[in-house]
Amino acid sequence: MERDNNIRHYILQSSPIVDSALVPIGHILTFQDVSQERFYVKEMNRQNVTLQERNQALDLIRQELSEANRKLEELALTDSLTNCYNRRYLTQHLNHEVITNIQYKTPFSLLLLDIDYFKAINDRYGHVIGDEVLVRTAEAVKQSIRSTDILTRYGGEEFMIYLPHTEHDLANQIAERVRTAVESNHIMVDHEIMQVSITISIGILSFEDFEVVHVPDNPEGI
């Protein structure tokens, strides 16, 4: 049934009429208009669907925001040129682990790498080749260290490698492997009929004799 172009909803109930002998003599029909109730139910369902869609959209925004924050954090802790961790990561994340190692007398080592004559490379071939040298050096180092080792670009042409659970003898072996990998990684120069051969200097600092180790008040000084 329609009224004012709106669909109306009714509940029809039929009750039998009987005489004293319980013989049916007719029926009573009642109509109950439930259009308003149906409208409220449909409206509530519509709002629930809208709310669910908005919640899904908010969840998606939260996921995108979380991913964006993760990427920002990664950018803040990563060197954009070499994709190594940067000095900020070293000071913020490794210092706590270094101090913990000292407290629990867990041996570890640090390697400090410096590209030899890097300024001369920049002066002769330009900064584009200089950047390529940094990138290729970082790649060679990454391929020659363990998955648990952490490579950071400490500054300029300097890199530092944190070697957990590593005493001096093993650190020396890893340093030699790194040196060989870098020096065998020749870089072509476009405007020269030659290759640039890179050499590095490596310093090793190992913590294994904890009877004489002193934890500095300023961990960044490690």
Half-sphere exposure of 166 (CA within 13 A, CB side): 24
Q: The tokens of 34 are what?
A: 């439930």
φ, ψ for residue 29, nearest 5 deg: -105, 130
DSSP assignment of 4-17 = TTEE--EEEEEEEE
Out of 37, 43, 97, 157, which one is annotated catalytic?
A: 157
- 197: DSSP letter: P
Q: Give SS3 for 198.
A: coil
Nearest residue to 157 via CA among 91, 68, 81: 81
SS3 205: strand
Q: Residue type for 210, please?
A: F
For residue 93, give the nearest of 69, 76, 116, 72 by alpha carbon: 76
Active site residue 167: no
Query: CA-CA distance, 119 to 122, in Å (whole number)?
Result: 5
Q: Which residues are catalytic?
A: 157
